[in-house]
Amino acid sequence: MTGIKKINLISAVLVSLSLCGGCTLEKAGNSSQDQTVQEDNKTEQVKAEKAEKEEINEIHLRDKDSLYENDDDTSVVTMYLTVSKGNSSENTYHTWKEINSYSVYDYEDMGVERYQVAGLLQVGDENGPTEGEVGYGERVPNATVQIRGQTSSQNAQKNYKIELKKNKGTWRGQRTINLNKHMTEGMRFRNKLAYDLIRGIPQMVGLRTQFVHLYVKDNTEEPGGKFEDYGIYTQVEQLNKTALKSHGLDSNGQLYKINSFEFYRYEDIIKKEDDAGYDKTAFEKMLEIKGDSDHTKLIDMLTDLNDYSIGIEDVLKEHFDEENIVYWMAFQILMGNVDTQNRNVYLYSPLNSDIWYFIAWDNDGCLMRPEYELRNFSDQNSWEKGISNYWGNILFQRCLKSRSFREKLNDAILDLREYLNKDMLTSKIESYKNVLKPYLYLMPDAEYEPLTSEQYDQIAASLPDEIEKNYQLYLESLETPMPFYIGVPTIDGDKLKFNWDVSYDLDAEDITYSVEVAGDYLFRDVIYQNTTLTVPEAEMDLPKAGQYFVRVRATNTSGKTQDAFDYYVTDEGKYYGMRCFYITEDSTVEEDDYEEG
């Protein structure tokens, strides 16, 4: 009996018992006809209860359109931020220089919370703070300020999280104000473009965004500072309980920010709070808790998902809104937002529902391929396209193995392909370019802008064509074997052995593997090669001590070839399908610090 069937049977039994418990006992003389009527009534109530649950589970997620009625996509709000030392109890007794000196990884190494400073946030225009806006006429701090982001916290220009104190007002109903530089992408508008586009997709929920020109006055080391121009930022609404309520969603529901999670069960980490060995820090490295902290519903979903005796169609019906998943994935595929396989998304479920939904987050990787090519940087290549990009995630993999799911995904992609048409995108991108360019080629942003003014125009003009290119890459991914992971090489006597996971072909074509071993990641010094393997393993004579790379590829009968998930990173970007390792002098294998999908 499957887990879902067990749950339904138990629910039916409990409903039946509760109905009986509410009845008075009949006298011995009651007829069997009365008993039959009672049983029929119970059956009907159980059916009604089940139908009601199914109806609730079939409700699709919809955004609150009225929330965006007064938005102006190309407006720029000016913010003035005065920073000063606060106090130790609030962790704000720090300098602005300290705030801008450390990354998230530095704080992890130091074992301390992120430093903050006290801040006075005032909103206005280029002439100064304006009456009626947050902070107008105030002289004392009304907020705390810290850096935000993960990998972006290592950038020279920092992103900031400004948290308005309680009873100090809100800005557009928000107390948390996220200001992002998006230093790693030259357009600086990709995240905003994505959210503005999501507003036009009924099957997705977005977030509010705003261009912000920031000025900062640093009083943390000595008073009397002057406002300095910090250039252009993009504000994005923080997805928290306040935002859920604003968007017409359940602020009491479960909400997780996926930091690094492939939907495996992870029984040693994904536990309830009162379970032995529960470690919140370890939990939040995978899933950051932003809503209700009862993880029972999450665990139930993961348990069923990882039980292969339960069909994925049943898992989707019981735990997910399939429409939500297919439109979320279709949007990411067409926009080329590939860094969404196991992070950069929120997982949300209303309190009185078993259904989970995806809400987009961190979209600045959209439409990046032309810029990477122009900058001669290797990224978003190989398996990072179409459906193969999502194969390493157990939820997406199980979904994509279903022909029914793939058909629904294809319908969603065709729908969005029509919506994301070249004329509409050209108009939007041109309007963003006209707003941002005057800021990006003046200090301080000009110092860090990776594109020349001419290159900026060139990339902007190329972006609308990317939707069709990404669509073609999606079609290609359907015909190509799926990526797989390479195992750690092992030594057996005088032999070096390799193994890898089996690749998968949607059309059930036969697959052969090629294996190469070299002393360099460009594979100019190949010391072993076999291109006709039909099993996921190989061996060679044990080479001398040193650094080596093993590259594995899968090819189907149609001649379509796929790299392994593993990749090696250099200053030029990613080199796909390979794993780096070392043979030591005492004939053992040591892994390199490498990246994988």
Mean pLDDT of 203-231: 96
Whether residue 537 is contained in a domain is answered as yes
pLDDT at position 3 is 45
pTM more than 0.85:
yes
pLDDT at position 14 is 36
Whether residue 503 is contained in a domain is answered as yes
Cα-Cα end-to-end distance for the chain:
35
pLDDT at position 592 is 80
DSSP 467-510: HHHHHHHHHHHHHSPPP-PBPPPEEETTEEEEEBPPP--TT---
pLDDT at position 44 is 64
Whether residue 452 is contained in a domain is answered as yes
Whether residue 61 is contained in a domain is answered as no
Cβ–Cβ < 8 Å for 265, 248: no
Residue type present at position 550: V
Q: Sheet containing 490-492: which strands, arranged edge to edge?
A: 490-492, 495-499, 537-541
Tell me, yes or no, whether 515 and 371 share the same domain: no
Tell me, yes or no, whether 566 and 473 share the same domain: no
CA distance 188 to 213: 13
Residue 25 has pLDDT above 80, yes or no: no
Q: How sure is the predictor about 8, in pLDDT bands with cuts at 50, 70 and 90?
A: very low
Written as six digits, the tokens of 53 are 């649950």
- Residues in CB range of 410: below 8 A, 6 or more apart: none
Q: How sure is the predictor about 61, in pLDDT bands with cuts at 50, 70 and 90?
A: very high
Whether residue 200 is contained in a domain is answered as no
Domain boundary among the residues 444, 477, 510 is at 477
Per-residue b or e along 155-182, where b marks 16 or more CB atoms closer than 10 Å to that residue's CB:
bebbbbbbbbeeebbebbebbbbbbbbb
Domain boundary among the residues 421, 442, 477 is at 477
Instruction: Report the CATH number at residue 553.
Output: 2.60.40.10
Tell me, yes or no, whether 404 and 317 share the same domain: yes
Residue 432 has pLDDT above 70, yes or no: yes
Tell me, yes or no, whether 454 and 561 share the same domain: no
- Residues in CB range of 161: below 8 A, 6 or more apart: 145, 146, 147, 148, 176, 177, 178, 179
Tell me, yes or no, whether 352 and 428 share the same domain: yes
* Better-predicted residue by pLDDT, 25 or 565: 565
Q: For 528-587, how does the pLDDT look when each residue is reduced to its tens digit (9 = 90+)? A: 999 999 999 999 999 999 999 999 999 999 999 999 999 999 999 999 999 999 999 999
Residue 29 has pLDDT above 70, yes or no: no
Cβ–Cβ < 8 Å for 328, 247: no
Whether residue 48 is contained in a domain is answered as no
Tell me, yes or no, whether 331 and 353 share the same domain: yes
CA distance 499 to 538: 7
CA distance 496 to 449: 47
> For the chain, what is the domain count?
3
Mean pLDDT of 209-219: 98
Whether residue 431 is contained in a domain is answered as yes
Residue 30 has pLDDT above 70, yes or no: no
pLDDT at position 57 is 45
- DSSP code, position 376: T
Tell me, yes or no, whether 285 and 365 share the same domain: yes
Q: For 374-427, how does the pLDDT look when each residue is reduced to its tens digit (9 = 90+)? A: 999 999 999 999 999 999 999 999 999 999 999 999 999 999 999 999 999 999
Q: Sheet containing 287-289: which strands, arranged edge to edge?
A: 287-289, 254-258, 345-349, 357-360
Tell me, yes or no, whether 290 and 316 share the same domain: yes
pLDDT at position 27 is 31
Cβ–Cβ < 8 Å for 513, 534: yes
Tell me, yes or no, whether 417 and 312 share the same domain: yes
pLDDT at position 364 is 95
Angle of helix 422-440 versus helix 466-479 axis, rounded to 10 = 120
Share of the chain above pLDDT 90, in %: 87
* Better-predicted residue by pLDDT, 306 or 224: 306
Cβ–Cβ < 8 Å for 451, 371: yes
Q: For 142-198, how does the pLDDT look when each residue is reduced to its tens digit (9 = 90+)? A: 999 999 988 889 999 999 999 999 999 999 999 999 999 999 999 999 999 999 999
Whether residue 23 is contained in a domain is answered as no
- DSSP code, position 29: T
Q: How sure is the predictor about 51, in pLDDT bands with cuts at 50, 70 and 90?
A: low
Written as six digits, the tokens of 343 are 């992070």
Q: Which contiguous run of DSSP H or E holds residue 540?
A: strand 537-541
Helix residue spans in 506-550 (DSSP H): none
Domain boundary among the residues 421, 447, 477 is at 477
Tell me, yes or no, whether 106 and 163 share the same domain: yes
Q: Which contiguous run of DSSP H or E holds residue 145?
A: strand 143-148
Tell me, yes or no, whether 234 and 312 share the same domain: no
- Residues in CB range of 120: below 8 A, 6 or more apart: 81, 82, 83, 84, 135, 138, 139, 140, 141, 142, 143
pLDDT at position 49 is 54
Tell me, yes or no, whether 371 and 488 share the same domain: no
Residue 494: domain span = 480-591
